[in-house]
A and B are shown apart, each in its own frame.
Chain A
Amino acid sequence: MALLNVENLSMVFGGLVAVDGVSFRAEEGKITSVIGPNGAGKTTLFNCITGFYRPTSGKIICRTHGRDFDLTGMAGHHIVRQAGIARTFQNIRLFPAMTVYENMLVAEHGRISALATLNPKRYAHEVAKSRALARSWLERMDLFPYANSRADALPYGIQRRVEIARALCTSPTLLCLDEPAAGLNHTESEGLAKLLLRITKEFNVSILLIEHDMQVVMNISDHIVVLDYGRRIAEGTASEVSMNPDVIKAYLGEDAHAA
């Protein structure tokens, strides 16, 4: 069984079918990308996986540390803490008035159980552990110099990195990134692509990626899922997907092939 198994997932808002019977898998240690034109249902899919929406039908099973979790009925915070799925957002959602270091430490709260706070020795131990973890992610993500500055005072590109680092502080097995390259310039998105490869290879965190920047997607993805109007229209490696006539049609329109 793969790390993440999405089976026949549908999400309906009133009369609008945002996600329509989508199935795919994300393997451990790989970068899986979800692409598709605007409004294809990519972010809705993400919100279902990370517990912000309760899917209308279908199943999402996550195998973390040898245990299977059914994400469809799980509370959002349990998905992060137990199933180990962390996410970032399309429009950066940092905690603006807090420093970068404090942003990282919010993960601490999820890790330390309420009971542990009653035991001062264990609490101190847990806190020290989380701080060391936060510190090491800051170092690995080259964010150490910004540790004590307010999150909203940083340039956009760095805020993106802070958001990824913050998600990594929850020690996830799967990291879901919603358009991490949006708003970055060419050099920055190349840097991001390298960073994502490092995260999977070096730090052993699998990635599920939504991205519009095809340069990034095609270069680093192990597996690509293409959505259009809420349905999966293609799936495969970068070269397979880019040759698929349905994909080309979805992106460029009906007559593009003939032209």
Chain B
Amino acid sequence: MNRMLRELGLTAMIAAVVIVPMFGLHLDSENGFLEISTNWFQALTFLAAALALRATVLLSHKFPRPKIKHQAFRVFVDNPEWSVWAGRVMIVIAIALPFLPFVDRRLLDVATLILTYVAMGWGLSIMVGMVGLLDLGYAAFYAIGAYAFSLLAVDYGWSFWAALPVVIAVCCLGALIVGGPILRLRGDYFAIVTLGFAEIVRLTLINWQSLTHGPDGVTGIPRPSVFGMATFNMGEEGLPQFSDWLGIGHDPMQRLIFMYLLLLGFALLVMLLIGWLRRSTFGLAFEAIREDEIAAQAMGINRPVMKLFAYVMAAIIAGIAGAFFAARQGFVSPESFNPMESFIILSIVVLGGMGSRLGVVIAAMVLIGLPELFREFAQYRMLAFGLALVLIMIWRPQGLLAHRRPTQTLTVDKD
């Protein structure tokens, strides 16, 4: 009982530190003056709720845990057959989504955003999941891709499809230049340098005004054409409007659906690439490096080159995702690529379970979809985000779907 009181006292103290400034104090602006008003009732309610939650958790330790249900669920989740089927069902739903009756602009827009993050999550999982290198600055290539396309389109009038190969080349070159020296670093050192690289990219975007338009960002980015055959941009010369081209009525949804399908196509390509990589000799080499670098070298694997190869591939995927992001938004600014962006992509990979393709999709839906759909509760978004991370780390520290399926199996009956 004594211990419990001590625990509760500690909880109250920690909770008060967080809750009082967040809920107890409000900043009001009246007649151009800022005033602080207090709302003790609200603060106390939240404090009581926090204490009640802690007390429940403490009490629950005194009783045996209901193991059976948990275990059954684990068997269900870790069953590879299940995830294969779930993946197929999801692909079908994803293809059908824009044509479902209840889907509105907003949902489709969120789904497109989720797809961007799914593709990037898969791209980063090459580095983090397969090669085992913690990349904290993945958004750097997202930014480079987005800006490469935006600047080519706005300042030089390139079309999306003409700019795409250049975007890929720029990301490839960037990854080679940066990756060459930093991939020699191991573990934490590599992680820190990537974090620094992302910041350098962001600060360059803010300060190199003559090239990047500085902190104001780039506006008026054109939408991608329908593979050079029709356009969604008003007043663009040479190409017919999409609705005229097909001879159907004009509907702003058409552009959103096209954008969604483009992203879906891209994500599916990345998915196939990851699947192929995992089964190829490159996948074996990547995993060998993750498992034991020294032994991998002793098996004849060229470590620096393989790591660079993974880094370049991940960078290209992020770059293309960035170009799509810019084309979807029509606007980019350096603030779209702050460190939080890298952390969110990393969280998607870690929470999804390293190397699990389906896990990344689920994590992206939870971490990107839910906050977007519940924008009304904007001020609690980060709170919910944190809560989700804590819960998943308690419940499944290895990630939602972390079962590693062998990529190669030896069948005995082949003789």
Residues of A within 8 A of B (CB): 50-52, 75-77, 80-81, 86-87, 89, 93-99, 101-102, 105-112, 117, 127, 131, 135, 138, 144, 147-148, 166-167, 170
Contacts and interface: CB of A to CB of B under 8 A. Distances in A.
A77 B302 contact: yes
A50 B298 contact: yes
Nearest to B406: A99
Given A77-B300, A81-B300, A96-B291, A106 B284 contact: yes
A115 to B, nearest CB: 13
Interface string B291-314: 110111111111100000000000
B408 interface: yes
B379 interface: no
Given A52-B294, A117-B280, A107 B299 contact: yes
Interface string B262-301: 0000000000000000001110110110011011111111
B404 interface: yes
B409 interface: yes
B407 interface: yes
Given A95-B295, A107-B299, A102 B281 contact: no
Given A76-B297, A106-B288, 16 more contacts: A77-B302, A93-B295, A95-B287, A97-B291, A97-B404, A105-B281, A106-B296, A107-B300, A109-B284, A109-B299, A110-B300, A117-B281, A117-B282, A147-B409, A148-B410, A170-B300
Interface in B353-397: none
B301 A110 contact: yes
A89 B404 CA distance: 26
Interface in B133-183: none
A13 B287 CA distance: 32
Contacts of A93: 292, 294-295, 298
B408 A109 contact: no
Contacts of A86: 298-299
22 contacts: A77-B302, A80-B298, A93-B292, A93-B294, A94-B295, A95-B287, A96-B292, A98-B291, A98-B406, A101-B406, A101-B409, A101-B410, A102-B406, A102-B407, A102-B408, A105-B284, A106-B301, A108-B284, A109-B284, A109-B285, A131-B408, A148-B409
A166 B288 CA distance: 12
Given A95-B287, A107-B300, A109-B285, A148 B406 contact: yes
Contacts of B292: 93-96
Q: Which 4 A-B pairs have the closest CB atoms?
A: A110-B300, A95-B291, A80-B300, A93-B295
A109 B410 contact: no
Interface string B402-415: 00101111101000
Contact of B302 (A50, A75, A112, A135): A75
B408 A101 contact: yes
B396 to A, nearest CB: 17
* Residue of B285, B287, B299 most packed against chain A (CB within 10 A): B299
A105 B287 contact: no
Nearest to A75: B302
Contacts of A77: 297, 300-303
Nearest to B294: A93
Nearest to A152: B291
B300 A109 contact: yes
Contacts of B297: 51-52, 76-77
Given A95-B291, A101-B408, A101-B410, A127 B281 contact: yes
A183 B34 CA distance: 73
Contacts of B406: 98-99, 101-102, 148
B281 A147 contact: no
B280 A102 contact: no
B304 to A, nearest CB: 9
Contacts of A81: 300
A80 B410 contact: no
A80 B298 CA distance: 7
Contacts of A127: 281
Nearest to A89: B295
Nearest to A107: B299
B298 A95 contact: no
Given A77-B302, A86-B298, A87-B298, A95 B288 contact: yes
